[in-house]
Every structure is written in C-alpha cells, then in structure tokens.
A = this chain, B = another copy of it.
Amino acid sequence: MKDITIPGGKDADKARKLMRVFSPLTGAEMQDEYPVARSEEVQYAVEQAMAAFPVYAAMPGTRRADFLVAIGEEILTLGDDLIQRAMAETGLPESRLIGERGRTIGQLGQFAHLIREGSWVEAILDPADPERKPFPKPDLRQMLQPLGPVAVFGAGNFPLAFSTAGGDTASALAAGCPVILKAHEGHLGTNALVSRAIRLAAERTGMPRAVFQYVVGDGYITGRELVAHPGIKAAGFTGSFTGGKALLQVANERPDPIPFFAEMGSTNPVVVLPDAMASRGEVIGQQLVWSFTLNAGQFCTNPGLIIVREGEGMDHMIAAMHEAVLARQAELMYGQGIRRNYDQRTRDMLETKGVTLIGKGPDGGPLDGQATLARINAVDFLLQPSLQHEVFGPFSLLVVCPDDPSLQQVLHALGGQLTATLMAEPSDLEGRSELVRELVSRCGRLVWNGVPTGVEVSPAMHHGGPWPASSDSRFTSVGTQAIRRWVRPVSYQNLPEAFLPEALQSHNPLKIWRRIGMEWTR
C-alpha cells in the first residue's frame, strides 16, 4: 500500500492530513494511512483531466475497449490481495466479494463490447434534398459526443462494482470521458489497489496518464471542490439521499450547471396479491426475507416495504416470514456509522404509532445488522409519511391493506422508487389492471414474481427511478445504457465526408447500426 500517489505529487509534506480505514472485521482502525488531497491538488487533478480529455476522446472505440478489458485483467491479477483487503475494510463475505469482482470485470467487458461494436453513438443521418422548395434541405447527421471530465463518487456497499472501477467509471471511460474518483472513505485500501490496476491498464494500452485519477478526502468538502470545478462536466454518485442531494445542489449552483446523477436508494415496494399469497404465500415470504436480509440488507434495491392485500394465506405467509427472520444469522455491516444508523432507524420505526414487531433475528456482534420485520396497517401507514424513508439494513415493513381501495391509497402515496415488484398470479390483476400503471408511474423497473435485489447488467436494465430514488429518472446507473449519462448529441450540417467522424461517414466504415430518417440500417 505504499504506491499511493496523489495528483500533483507533493507527498513530501509531513503535515498533510491522513486517513485510516475502520475494519468491521476487527472492530478497529487499520494501520495504513492515506494522504488527504489538498484543495490545490484537486484543482491540479481536474486540470490534468481536462488536458487528457481531447486526446482520450479522439481515440477510436476499439482502443478504449482494449483499455477497459485491460482494467479487468489487472483487477484479476490483484488476486486474493484485493478480496482480502475488501473483506477487511467492508466485512462483506468472501463469496460475495468474489462475485462482485466478477460483476465488475464483466461490466467492464460489456462496455468494451459496446464501444467496440460502436452503434452506441446513436448515429442519425438525414440526407440532403437540394431540390426542396422554398429552401434546399441540408445534409444533417448527428451522433453522441463525450461531455468531458467526469467526477465519480463510489458507493460504500459495493466496494468493487459501484466504486473505483465500477459502473460509473466504466461507463464514463467507455464514453470517452476521463474520470476523477472521490475514493470512498470506507475502503481506501481496496480503492488504492483497484486504482493501481487501472493505472497499469492505462500504461499498458497507451492511454493518457490522467485518464483516471483519484482523490482521498472528506466526502462533502473534497466532493464539493470536484463538482464545483469548471473543468468537471458531469458527475455520478451512489449513496445516501443526504449526500446525493447536497452534491446535486453544488452541481446546480455552478455558474454553468452540470448533469449530476445521484442514485440515492429507495424502499422498493413489493405488492403481494391474494391469489399468489393463497397458492404460495410461504415461498413468497421466504423469498422476501432472503432478499431483504442478504448481506445485512445493504442493497439499494432492498425490499423495505411489503404491501399486502389481505386475504387467505396471509397468516401463513407472515408465519413463514417470522420463522425465516428468526433463523437469519446477523451479518456484518460495512461501517460503524451505517450500523448505528440502522439501529436508530429500526428503533424509531418500532416506536412509530401502529408499528408492531413481527420478529427479530438472532443478535450478533457489535457491528452485525439484526434482521427485523415489522408490520403496520394501511391507515396508520398513510398517516405517517416518514415511514416511507429507507432504512438501510436488513429491515422490512409489512403494510397490511384490508381491501383494494386502501391498497390503491397506499400505492398512490408512494414516492419514486428504483424498483416495484408484483407478487401475483395473472388472475390477481383481473379488476386490478390499474396496478401495473400505478407502479410503473413510480418506479424505474417493475419486477414480476421475483425479488428486486440482483440488478442485471444488461442493455435493457434501467436502474434509476423518480425522485427521491435518483436525481434524474431519465438515466440508469446500471447496464450499458449508463453510457448515455456522459454524452450529448452534436449535429453536423453539410460537412464534407473528410471532416466527419467515421461513425457518420456515408459508407459507414465502422459498420455500425445507424438511423437513416426513421429506418435502422447497417
């Protein structure tokens, strides 16, 4: 861990502020120290990224693709050191981190594939019509172009897949944007290792050195410096509502506001309908408990609200959930603050009028999150909007609706969500077809008879819902469409072939899918 360099490289100064990482595994601070970036170093990093931008953006997609694949290879080369360090820093189990590493490398590979294939630039060509009256129609062609240097704020709960070389970094690098990462305080060692892998990959594939940089510092102060810098043209964030909202405000208050994409989590309501409950209530209950307690419930797609339309089988389902919760071993949470917050929020919930405890899992160590399931009736839920706020951890609240009107009212009261889930038989939607529309209008992804956790990285994934789930429901932070966050269209009018980007040249040298008027061709 000695090769950490800070942009600007003024490491000589002994008075520099240093950070250490708390390990949930040992309950103590780890030895390594990470120098905090000074303001002028943040500025310097942005200037370097600005200088790297035109060089990097001008590289063909195939070369950027090689770089992304190389990052994956270098991450794999880090071997067990990376997994052990991430375990020590986050308390997440080994199998989960090995899986997450696979997801991270797979994600880089998908973006590499996307930009090697090339059609992602959404080329549209309108041929000229010199004979048109009263004015000739010009030749117009448009394609997506990268915005510029991007700031990324990694997530604490995904030290690999949503952090240093995670989805935000991978999609921005794929788009042609240099990245400056604000390293997450919870896994600075993991970050240093992955950053080294990225740097080695950049060297190996001949990328400008400043294509990727990171800074260590206080989330808000350093984050603010980054987001406010005129050289930063967009930013991505995964984390809390408070953090996301504060940085969004910085982005909006710049003299030139920039796109700021914050994925801030949600309660991911699951609606359980009578026929499904009658036929397989126990299985549904077990599935849901598994989903909201997995890895101490530290997922932004955790099903924190289970909205049940009362009916035959509800008692069986609840009994099954009760049993599953009691059997659920507590798991480590990734930080002390996260754990304290979980306890506080769970306590608040259980003290809220109308909330009763269904069951608690066995108590664990001081950093373990104890699985907790509570219930409330629809009327009490509707009267207390604070019950809608996410409890980050292995907690879920079952809302019992005695009839369809109360179910409708509860759904109508919900804020924006990353996901919404229907546990239903087709027969459940007879006379309730409005439910689909009602849920779709509030979420970014509608799940049928599944659990919301487990966010597929794929072209049709949309991970981003109406406020407060994300700051901008029109963009996704997971899946290949995430690249769209870092680009804007540019039109070229009557440009000679020689000066057009290859993607727009008439003979389609890149052999990509393009729209001619309304038709797609290749």
* Nearest CB in chain B to that of A134: its residue: B99
Interface membership of A220, Cβ < 8 A: no
B459 and A515 within 8 A (CB) = yes
- At the interface, yes or no: A494 with Cβ under 8 Å from chain B? yes
Question: Is A473 part of the binding interface, using a Cβ–Cβ cutoff of 8 Å?
Answer: yes
Asked whether, in the complex, the Cβ of A456 is within 8 Å of the Cβ of B520, the reply is: no
Q: How far is the CB of A508 from chain B (nearest CB, A)?
A: 14
CB distance from A275 to the nearest CB of B (A): 14
Cβ contact within 8 Å between B125 and A437: no
The yes or no answer to A444 lying at the interface (CB within 8 A) is yes
Interface string of A484-510 (1 = CB under 8 A from B): 000111111111101100000000000
Given contacts A449-B494, A489-B481, A493-B450, contact A119 B518 (CB under 8 A): yes
CB distance from A285 to the nearest CB of B (A): 19
Q: Report the Cα distance A126→B520, complex, angstroms.
A: 19
Q: Is the CB of B490 within 8 A of A126?
A: no
Residues of B within 8 A of A259 (CB): 472, 474
Docked-complex contact A495 and B448, CB < 8 angstroms? yes
Give CA–CA (A190, B522) in the complex, Å. Answer: 46
- A93: interface (CB < 8 Å): no
Partner of A458, one of B126, B436, B437, B488: B126
A490 contacts B440, CB within 8 Å? yes
Interface residues of A in 110-152 (CB under 8 A from B): 114, 117, 119, 124-126, 134-135, 137-138, 140-142, 145, 147-148
B residues less than 8 Å from A462 (CB atoms) = 142, 489-491
Report B-chain residues with C-beta under 8 Å of the C-beta of A142.
460-462, 481
Bound form: Cα–Cα A441–B146 in Å = 9
Q: Which residues of B contact A517 (CB under 8 A)?
A: 459
Contact across chains for B513 and A519 when beta carbons are under 8 A apart? yes
What CA separation (Å) do A466 and B137 show in the bound complex? 25
Q: Is A160 close to B, CB under 8 A? A: no
Separation of A435 and B134 alpha carbons in the complex (Å): 32
Residues 427-458 of chain A: 1 if any B CB is under 8 Å from the residue's CB, otherwise 0?
00100010011001101111111100010101
From residue A241, how far is it (CB to closest CB) to chain B in Å? 12
B445 touches A256 (CB 8 A): no
